[in-house]
Structure 1
Amino acid sequence: MTDINNLDDSNNSKSHRNCIKQWFLQDSKELDPDFKNNMLVVATLIVAATFQTGINPPGGAWQDTKDGHEAGKAIIASSHHSLPYCPYNLFLILNTLAFSMSTQIILMLVYHKRLYFEVVVATISMVATYGTAVWSLSPKDDVKLRYVSMAALFPYLWRLSYQAFKTFTKKNETTK
């Protein structure tokens, strides 16, 4: 772990900048092990928090069907009567984006490690559970599931396009 008291040290600061640069430009296997461990902890905490808020949205769910509300649907989804947008849609899109980005980070950091297949299966199961819970909590006519789906797929498509670009540029460099 990094010593918090020495964060102002210029060598340590350069090391952190190099880790961040590697994070965006290199494969995760080239990262400093302490940095990888810290990122894994942060990503896991974000996954836990976003999963919990996804399956138990702010305000909870309606307990019974009356006054135009359906039991089991998110209360926050019905709070848009005076707003030009539904706060639940925005909440759900941003929460799903954070959840998906964090799961992608976890999968990237544990790639090439033992039990990777098991981590992938567990992650897919957790993502399916999240999606099922969100779908069951969302009113049928309110949530724009295409936007939620785009938020869920964005981190994976972004990483895939980055890897494709990286592979393409490496092939072009070797043919020159």
Structure 2
Amino acid sequence: MDAQPTIMWPTQPDQLSPNDLVSYFQYQPERDTASDVRNALLVVMALIAAATFQACLNPPRWQVNQRAGTASFPSCYLSQSSLFLFSNTLAFSSSNYVISYLVYRFPFYMLIWIGLFSFSFTYLCSTPPNPPGAACRNDLLVVVALLLPLVMLSAW
């Protein structure tokens, strides 16, 4: 059995060649602690949750003459609006599930879970209404996107 040589990285990334920078910043079990990984995941997932929540509150507009504060998804863009809503909700729910998993058994984790549940409920209330003449229901898309990460996790 050939043991793989341990790569000794310089202490500063600016001492690396551009080709080694990607390897330097990737996860390495012998260097990175579980605490470091958890902290990085919490930051990334919180940013995803915040960005997707904001995108739900201010969805993209496809019409120029639109009253402020109303979502407009014309029928010619229905597939784009449905895809946007589904993808945004999927990213939001995935980030919430990862956050809830990572904070389990933290002090006050039940309060964090209550906050995440409330955050999800607010997201559901903020999803845009069905456009006129919609072929599919946004409610169904949102529910599927919220539950899909749980189903995938259960199957895995």
1:19-51 Cα shifts (integer Å, max 9, x gaps): 9xxxxxxxxxxx711111011000000000000
**2-side partners of 1:148 and 1:111: how far apart?**
25
The letter of the residue matching 1:139 is P
Which among 117, 142, 147 is matched to residue 153 of structure 1?
A: 147
Which among 90, 111, 115 is matched to residue 97 of structure 1?
A: 90
Name the residue aligned to 1:47: 49
Of all paired residues, the percent bearing the same amino acid is 31
**Structure 2 residue ranges without an equivalent (≥5):** 1-10
Does the 8 Å CA contact 2:46/2:99 hold for their aligned counterparts?
yes
Using the TM superposition, give the Cα deviation of residue 63 of structure 1 relative to its aligned residue in structure 2, in angstroms.
Answer: 2.1
Count of paired positions = 135
Does the 8 Å CA contact 2:85/2:141 hold for their aligned counterparts?
no
**2-side partners of 1:12 and 1:139: how far apart?**
47
Does the 8 Å CA contact 1:73/1:139 hold for their aligned counterparts?
no
**2-side partners of 1:158 and 1:4: how far apart?**
39
**Structure 1 residue ranges without an equivalent (≥5):** 20-30, 65-71, 163-176
Using the TM superposition, give the Cα deviation of residue 141 of structure 1 relative to its aligned residue in structure 2, in angstroms.
Answer: 4.6
The letter of the residue matching 2:116 is T
Name the residue aligned to 1:16: 27
1:69-97 Cα shifts (integer Å, max 9, x gaps): xxx6412x11x42x6x5211010000000
1:63 matched to 2:67? The reply is yes
1:122-143 Cα shifts (integer Å, max 9, x gaps): 11111011101105x4436525
The letter of the residue matching 1:146 is L
**2-side partners of 1:39 and 1:4: how far apart?**
23
User: TM-score, normalised to structure 2's length?
Assistant: 0.71
Does the 8 Å CA contact 2:89/2:145 hold for their aligned counterparts?
yes
User: TM-score, normalised to structure 1's length?
Assistant: 0.64
- The 3 A distance-change label for structure 1 pair 146 and 153 is same
**1-side partners of 2:62 and 2:12: how far apart?**
38
1:37 matched to 2:39? The reply is yes
The letter of the residue matching 2:112 is V
How much is the aligned-residue C-alpha RMSD, in angstroms?
A: 3.1
**2-side partners of 1:107 and 1:96: how far apart?**
16
1:139 matched to 2:136? The reply is no
Name the residue aligned to 1:110: 103
> Equivalent residue of 2:106, what SS?
coil
